[in-house]
Amino acid sequence: MEWGLDGAIVALLLGLAARILHTRDLFEATVLFIAFGLTLSLAWARLGAPDLALAEAALGAGVTGALLLNAYRRFADREEKAAPAVDIGSGEAACGAFPDASLRAPCDRVLRLRPILGAVLGILAAGFVVFLVTLPVRLPILPSMVADRLAETAVSNPVTAVLLDFRAYDTLLEMTILVVAMVAVWSMDREAPGLVRLAEEGPGEDAVLEALINLVVPVAGLTALYLVWAGASASGGAFQGGALLAGVGVLLLAAGIVHPVTAQTALVRGLGVMGLGVLVLVGLVVMVWTGSFLAYPEGTAYVLVLLAEGALVVSIATILLELFVDVPAVPEKDPTLEWVDPTGDPLGRSSDADGIPTSDSEEDG
Amino acid sequence: MSSEFLYVLGGGGLFLLGFLGVSTRSHLFWKILSVNFMGSGIFLLLVGAAPRLPDQGPDPVPQALVLTGIVVAVSVTAVGLGIALRVVARTGAPYLPDLPETSGPERFRRRNERAR
């Protein structure tokens, strides 16, 4: 029970969040968000959840941070190209201040509601605290249930057992969400992969980058594989290992050593779907023996969990890498069109005299 | 009351901060970050409030749920960023374009062909 340390971590979390929400600088927000993810990882460690600490550092700080860093510049680029000398700022600063109407931030009604919003949130916060303080203390049931049946799963890390055996269905749905994210991103309009290369000259010409890759890639790759293997008995698992592998991939991509992992290729799509496919297949096949979806028969749990984890790691690494490449791959804005929308229709569809919108396909840019 | 309760309070506070951010910041990037804060707050609440006995380890079921939640949050961030970047590419401004009553009547201006 260490109030000082825990209090400091919570204060840091809330302070970072408040600063991120207050700042107007995109880069500051991105970097502080990465710091926030790492602090949250500390919090998980303090709460006795090392698997979560690993996952938060790898995914929450690492992958999300990489996504944000790769994408934030495109928010800034557009604003600067359009109005280089003017600070867009928040709604209240920009309301009505710009000659060019297309840059005017919405004069939000919300701004006028701010005192009401603050009061509502304050009441909610007070009610929240009262509720939390008066929670009845209950004896935990689930840890003992998990501990009793742990021997059946052939893994000794209870979190891995829950993820891949007791609640393997949740993991299946989680993989579905990742696949849906990949499909959603590849369905958006894309241009060439918008990854900014760190080394302009190419591999072999930037000594620092080359040294970094020579050192980091083997170690990180091995650590990732170890994390997956060790997840059976200690902290680790498929998600942490997959995220670390994605990080290795990002480094290789940034140096130009591998081709951009975009979802335009069938290989990437196949690898991304493979984890989900293996889980579904395993679930259906075991139905022949046990009659329930994903209910592993006696003695096969180890092999099936291993199989599932292997497929999951490949899929997770591929999907995370694909998201990193494809999310910022936005086509250039058509320079001949600056939308006029007198009817208030955001898609720019024209309307006839009654104000009834008609669709006009050649306006789409 | 052990010091884990601080994390429960912190989680709740983070959720409320995120809610404040989503409601008041009109910039899409900050909306995405605020949604992440709301998620992280709920995760802290879930793991921090899990009842624990001193002789057993921390409850593995909320940990597994939060692990799933972290992955889902990353996916949501990715898709949200993709959509936001395309909004910026199309409309030139990182704000939601679909609420005409929150912006001026001449929000967009076509430059040449369709002069009306």
**pLDDT tens digits in sequence order for chain A, 365 residues long:** 688 999 999 999 999 999 999 888 899 999 999 999 999 999 999 998 999 999 999 999 999 999 999 888 777 654 444 433 333 444 444 444 443 444 444 444 455 667 787 788 888 888 887 887 787 777 777 777 888 888 878 888 888 888 888 888 999 999 999 999 999 998 887 765 545 444 445 555 678 888 888 899 999 999 999 999 998 888 888 999 999 999 999 888 877 788 777 877 889 999 999 999 999 999 999 998 888 888 888 888 888 888 999 999 999 999 999 999 888 877 776 665 555 444 455 554 544 444 444 444 333 33
Tens digit of pLDDT for each residue in B33-42? 999 999 999 9
pLDDT at position A152 is: 79
Cα A203 to Cα A178, A184, A197, A217, A252: the distances in Å are 31, 32, 10, 14, 9
Please, are residues B111 and B94 in contact by the beta-carbon 8 Å criterion? no
- The answer to whether B96 contacts chain A (CB < 8 Å) is yes
CB contact under 8 A, B3 and A2: yes
**Partner A, chain B 41-70, Cβ-Cβ below 8 Å:** 43-44, 47-53, 56-61, 63-68, 70
Please, are residues B73 and A174 in contact by the beta-carbon 8 Å criterion? no
CB contact under 8 A, A104 and B107: yes
Q: Give the confidence band of B55 by pLDDT, cuts at 50, 70, 90.
A: low
pLDDT at position A338 is: 57
Q: Which residues of B touch A181 (CB under 8 A)?
A: 75-76, 78-79
Q: Global pTM?
A: 0.81
Distance from CA of A288 to the nearest CA of B (A): 28
* Residue with tokens 């698997």, as numbered in its chain: A51
* Residue with tokens 């997956």, as numbered in its chain: A228
Mean pLDDT, rounded, for B55-61: 75
Which of A72, A162, A172, A235 is best to mutate for the B interface (most B CBs within 10 A)? A162
pLDDT, greater one: B109 or A266? A266
Q: Which residues of B touch A237 (CB under 8 A)?
A: 67
Q: Which residues of B touch A132 (CB under 8 A)?
A: 5, 8-9, 12, 49
CB contact under 8 A, B27 and A189: no
By residue count, chain B amounts to 116
pLDDT at position A100 is: 41
Q: Which residues of A touch B27 (CB under 8 A)?
A: 75, 90, 105
Q: Which residues of A touch B6 (CB under 8 A)?
A: 3, 6-7, 10
CA atoms of A169 and A223, how far apart (whole Å): 27
CB contact under 8 A, A90 and B23: no
- Which of A51, A55, A108 minimises the CB distance to B102? A108
Q: How far is residue A108 CA from its own chain's centroid?
A: 28
pLDDT at position B60 is: 87
Closest-CA residue of chain B to A335: B111
Please, are residues A282 and A304 in contact by the beta-carbon 8 Å criterion? yes
pLDDT at position A363 is: 39
**Partner A, chain B 71-90, Cβ-Cβ below 8 Å:** 71-79, 81-86, 88-90
Q: How far is residue A94 CA from its own chain's centroid?
A: 31
Q: How far is residue A42 CA from its own chain's centroid?
A: 19
CB contact under 8 A, A121 and B16: yes
- The answer to whether B35 contacts chain A (CB < 8 Å) is no
CB contact under 8 A, A181 and B75: yes
pLDDT at position B63 is: 92
Task: Indicate left, alpha or beta for A312 from its phi (over 0: left) and psi (-120 to 50: alpha).
Answer: alpha
Please, are residues A337 and B110 in contact by the beta-carbon 8 Å criterion? yes
pLDDT at position B107 is: 44
Tell me B102's DSSP state. G
Distance from CA of A263 to the nearest CA of B (A): 14
Mean pLDDT, rounded, for B2-20: 89
Q: How far is residue B101 CA from its own chain's centroid?
A: 24
pLDDT at position A244 is: 94
Burial of A142 (0-12, 13-18, 19+ CB in 10 A): middle
CA atoms of A340 and A316, how far apart (whole Å): 42
CA atoms of A123 and A15, how far apart (whole Å): 21
- Across the A:B interface, residue pairs with CB atoms under 8 Å apart total 313
Q: Is the pLDDT of residue B105 over 50?
A: no
- Which of A10, A125, A146 minimises the CB distance to B61? A146
E-only strand ranges, B10-116: none
By residue count, chain A amounts to 365
Q: Give the confidence band of B98 by pLDDT, cuts at 50, 70, 90.
A: low
Burial of A48 (0-12, 13-18, 19+ CB in 10 A): middle
pLDDT at position A352 is: 46
CA atoms of A183 and A323, how far apart (whole Å): 10
Which of A6, A24, A137, A138 is best to mutate for the B interface (most B CBs within 10 A)? A6
